[in-house]
Amino acid sequence: MKLHVGSEPWQRAAALYVRMQVFVQERHIALIDEFDQHDTSKTSYAVIYADNEQPVATGRLQFIDAATIQPGRIATLSEYRGQGLGAQVINALEEVGQHQGYQKSLIHSERTAQGFYEQLGYQPVSGTFIEDGIPCVLVSKILFTKK
């Protein structure tokens, strides 16, 4: 497996492929809700590729303000779950933020994934809210800037 973070057109296509499989086809989230104004040619995506260069896991990076990043749209194809790929994607996105001087990471977590994010050092900072028909909570983590 190899992981790449970038905004190249092929990287974006790979990320959107995984999201289409997981969120639209498997989870039945509407296309218009899943693919939004934050998916642009300048957006950075982390994608893990299997040995045959098949994209199998992804996440998107947004910059919220001068101090805060927002990893999001974290997805892993069903046959690759349970291998720690989601954690690798989040760690890679956090590293990008850290190297650029960001100090905080904020994630819209589905309630069912909250424990996963807590294992990665995130803490809940909001009550439950509904996003795309799914109960969610904001989770936050302090990043240590790398120089």
Asked if the structure places residue 11 within a domain, the reply is: yes
Calculate what percentage of the chain has a pLDDT beyond 70: 98
Beta bridge partners of 134: 131
* 48 in any annotated domain: yes
Residue 122 CA to residue 124 CA, distance in Å, equals 7
Domain interval for residue 25? 2-142
CATH value at residue 51? 3.40.630.30
- Report pLDDT digits (tens) over 35-76: 888 889 999 999 999 988 999 999 999 999 999 999 999 999
In a domain, 53, yes or no: yes
| 66 domain-assigned | yes
Question: How many domains does the structure of the chain reveal?
Answer: 1
Any domain includes 147: no
pTM: 0.91
Using the Cα atoms of residue 64, residue 8, residue 22 and residue 49 in order, give the sign of their dihedral.
negative
